[in-house]
Structure 1
Amino acid sequence: MAIIREVKAAKLLMGKLAHGADLLEEITKICVDHDIYLGRVEALGAVKKARLGYYNQHVQEYHFYDLNQTLEITTLTGNISIKDGVPVVHAHITLSDKDGHAYGGHLAPGTIIFACEVVIQVLNGPMFERGLDQETGLPLWKMNE
């Protein structure tokens, strides 16, 4: 059974991320600096290289792979919640190469920005805290009915 909570839009932040910075770390730093504990994020631009993850459901662990090439960010979407008392960004990304081939997965540290424009929607509502979900092995939102 789905467990849903109502949240309300509070404000919208838009900006350009630093060339050469780590994409996930930059977005997380914005959240920490602006005390954002609940929200959603989207971005587009380009990266110098990427590190993506895929969650293997059978062994319940992430496997990461590197793309050591320049790529366009065609989509980055994610959410912001809390884990261990600090903001955490959970984002997935789709990238394309010079021939239009797409790569996607869980955004991991090691994805280096060439150019990136980001939008963060800050939300007001109940705390969404991550904790270990026994069924999946993932750090999912702990939501009691």
Structure 2
Amino acid sequence: MLTRPVSRGRVIMGRLPKGADLLESLTRLCVNENIQLGDIRAIGAVQRARVGFYDQQKRTYSYLEFDRPHEIISLAGNVSLKGGQPFVHAHIGLMAEDGRMAGGHLAEGTVVFACEYVITELLHEKDSGFERVFDEDTGLFLWPGEKRG
């Protein structure tokens, strides 16, 4: 378990441009603003979407692509460091015109129609443990937990 105190820093709100890649744009914003730890939320709509699902047995992602408009019901994620650079990890819930829901791990290839975001920067002590490292138990890059054994 990793538990560390953090405090609130800046809160940045804005709108992404139509046609932008959602994940790439949020990541670039965090790099440009030097946000190394934070919370991300967004709402809006996408022109097309690409979402992932992690197969826990195979330890690989599979992706679904939706080449039609969807509403962003919810986008929730975080920012932390991976390889010394800001890394956005977000999940997205989407609704199609017919009311069908889809969602998963936000992937590049999700194109914005309209998107308003809020990023809350979180401040922490240097070396507080929020840099992602490879976790043997899951096959994912996660924040480190307490050492076992």
TM-score grouping bracket, smaller chain normalisation: over 0.9
8 Å contact kept, 1:39–1:120: yes
8 Å contact kept, 1:55–1:61: yes
Other-structure match for 2:86: 87
Other-structure match for 2:137: 135
Output the TM-score relative to the length of structure 1.
Answer: 0.96
Q: Secondary structure at the match of 2:121?
A: strand
> Residue type of the partner of 1:8?
S
Measured on the aligned residues, the alpha-carbon RMSD in Å equals 1.0
8 Å contact kept, 1:41–1:120: yes
Counterpart Cα distance in 2 of 1:87 and 1:118 = 17
Q: How many residues align?
A: 144
Other-structure match for 2:13: 14
Residue deviations 1:44-79, cap 9 Å, x none?
Answer: 000000000000001111111101110000000000
> Residue type of the partner of 2:34?
D
> Residue type of the partner of 1:32?
V
Counterpart Cα distance in 1 of 2:74 and 2:53 = 17
Output the TM-score relative to the length of structure 2.
Answer: 0.94
Residue deviations 1:71-128, cap 9 Å, x none?
Answer: 0000000000000110000000000011211101000000000000000000001351
Counterpart Cα distance in 2 of 1:105 and 1:17 = 20
Other-structure match for 2:121: 122
| 1:143 CA displacement | 3.8
Other-structure match for 2:71: 72
| 1:144 CA displacement | 4.2
Which runs of 5 or more structure 2 residues have no equivalent in the other structure? none
Which runs of 5 or more structure 1 residues have no equivalent in the other structure? none
